[in-house]
Structure 1
């Protein structure tokens, strides 16, 4: 239900803070800041470049606004943007893939008919509360047509709520850029999402990886050549793991 990156997709690039939180924990922005700060220190101490990938813009904002973070680090914000019609279509297809991969059974294992509180932990994630009525119907009704209808309604609600979330995230990115003065570099990946296979990979390299690498070149030009080379190589490897 979290659509977490798979080991195969990570291509050997270390990813931090994935699968380390109890699903029932009420994980706050403050918790994220504390854990992210520790990971950042460990990465920097190894001479590597930490790349913070959202995720929740609220958590990202809390981290960047943290006094300790601001005193230690300079930031380069890369915004991989896609036009809303194309992105909404992609979100819908992604939900279908998540369902095919077993999301419904995963959420069923969390379902508790005595608990309708979806305000904490993993239970508040999009994809969990939407399936509540479907799971309740399974326990009290044997009509397969009703089950099928409720499941399709739940899946559509998951798609709709994901699209609403995307819209809110877009609004927040613009607010952080325009009102808070974040230096956000927009990378338009719309064309990537209209392609498949090799064409999509080539478009990703041209429209996202190449300009992002150039931005990092400009940011890091004051570093020594050895550190600079290591950081650029690490960043290029990390960008290559992004999926489209």
Structure 2
């Protein structure tokens, strides 16, 4: 059997400090970074997705950032394919690939041998749903999925009708939701892997999230979202991102500016909570608490621990 490729994965909720740490790890382990974030793939959506800035990269190559236009849709299956070939490409250059991000399903689809296509299908049933979507609109079909399988519905945009129908088709054929069907698979880990999670006590994390939103507003998030809105970008996957949908509500006159910013903070905090729950339930993660990482001495200690964990797990030497 051929040897598995080595891979480090750094996950954690929004605002926990993944970007700074990932750059330091990449320098220490001669690595390149692959973004594991479902929204950083979009061009012209920089501030709201907390995309790493050019000067923050410190010369470390970053992949899967700015590869789609905001009106295009993107799926976990597409991400899986792109990232797996990127891992092979980075490995062939003698570098270590590090996936960094917070989109659990996307990262899970890469590291485990998930089959998105091997669930049974029923062409007749699919045709009926396609015709109904044409006649009654995508939303009617999406509502049915929301009823049957809210977990999958949360991850699929209502206008990505192909995936909505596929999820309903899986339920129709197997009596299981797409989420249950994927759980039933017993996927094998495809890589020789170090899976590191960053966590933080809730109060500290929530403070950091609130501060981050304030900084985003100062950096021009309102203008960034306004330009997408003014360009007529509506009803697409990218605009469902936190930071965009809340300000769209403001532009559409549904809420006041103050409420939009408050909603953005609240939705970001809720998302962080969901991320942590997801990672804890679905992945075998080695957790590191970054609550005291504001103190440079504490951060150094944590960085040394994480580096040692990667060295031990992947049996590689760092450039220290």
Same fold (TM over 0.5): yes
Match of 1:167 among 269, 273, 282: 273
Q: Cα gap change, 1:201/1:116 in structure 2, threshold over 3 Å: closer, same or farther?
A: same
Matched, 1:154 2:154: no
1:172 alignment partner, SS class: helix
1:109 alignment partner, SS class: helix
Shift in Å, 1:109: 1.1
Question: For residues 1-244 of structure 1, what are the structure 2 equivalents within 5 Å?
Answer: 1-66=48-113, 72-111=190-229, 117=235, 120-137=236-253, 150-177=256-283, 182=284, 184-192=285-293, 195=294, 200-207=295-302, 209-221=303-315, 228-229=316-317, 232-233=318-319
Q: Is the 8 A contact 1:43 1:49 kept in 2?
A: yes
1:75 alignment partner, SS class: strand
1:26 alignment partner, SS class: coil
Task: Flag structure 1 segments of 5+ consecutive residues without an equivalent.
Answer: 138-146, 222-227, 237-244
1:76 alignment partner, SS class: strand
1:215 alignment partner, SS class: helix
Shift in Å, 1:132: 2.3
Aligned-CA RMSD value: 2.4
Shift in Å, 1:90: 0.3
Distance 2:261 2:61 in 1: 32
Shift in Å, 1:72: 4.7
Task: Flag structure 2 segments of 5+ consecutive residues without an equivalent.
Answer: 1-47, 116-186
Shift in Å, 1:65: 2.3
2:193 alignment partner, SS class: coil
Q: Is the 8 A contact 1:113 1:136 kept in 2?
A: no
Distance 1:116 1:43 in 2: 36
Q: List structure 1 segments (4+ residues) > 6 angstroms apart after TM superposition.
A: none
* Aligned pairs, number: 202
1:61-82 Cα shifts (integer Å, max 9, x gaps): 1112235995752221101111
Distance 2:88 2:234 in 1: 40
Higher strand share: 2
